Structure 1
Amino acid sequence: MKVVYEAANLIDAHLVRHALEAQEIPVFLKGEALLGGMGELPLFGTILVCVPDVVWPEASEIVASLPLNEPPADTAGEGDDLPDGPEWLPA
């Protein structure tokens, strides 16, 4: 097994896992059970997404195409149905 992605958190690890499994690539999450353990274990950065050596090149291309750790697109003013002005106050 080779590491194809080192996840910053559990959500990223599962996003990558589901993307790879959708392409019928078997995935193993190394360190998932240790997440949040007490004592010497770190709370973040312990999950490695691993795939078999044979499919690593294909898996790495899939992971590279995923929008991980990218800021959301700036959609200011697009589809904004909220009224502007003093009559609108956030809750």
Structure 2
Amino acid sequence: MKIVYQAANLIDAHLVRHALEAEEIPVFLQGEALTGGMGELPLFGTILVCVPDIVWPQAKDIVDTLPLNQPVEALPDDDEAPDASQGWLPA
């Protein structure tokens, strides 16, 4: 098994896992059960997304195309908020 991605958190790891499994690449999450462990374990960065050696190049290409660790676009200002008369109201 080779590491194809070091996840920042559990959600990040599962997003990568589902993207790889959608392409029929088997995935193993190393350290998944350790998240949030007390003591000397760090709370983040302990989950490694691993794939078989033979499919690592294909998996790396897929992971490289995913929008990971990118900033979220800013929400529109109040001036640009949708008009309530259009039928959509905030929850």
* TM-score normalised by length of structure 2: 0.82
- What SS class does the counterpart of residue 50 from structure 1 fall into? strand
Q: Which has the higher helix share?
A: 2
Deviations 1:1-53 (A, max 9, x none): 00000001111100000000000000000000111111111111000000000
1:80 maps to which residue?
81
The CA RMSD measured in Å over matched residues stands at 1.8
The runs of at least 4 aligned residues of structure 1 exceeding 2 Å deviation read: 72-77
1:37 maps to which residue?
37
1:7 maps to which residue?
7
User: What is the number of residues matched between the two proteins?
Assistant: 82
For structure 1, the 5+ residue unaligned runs are 84-91
Kindly, what percent of the aligned residue pairs are identical? 72
* TM-score normalised by length of structure 1: 0.82
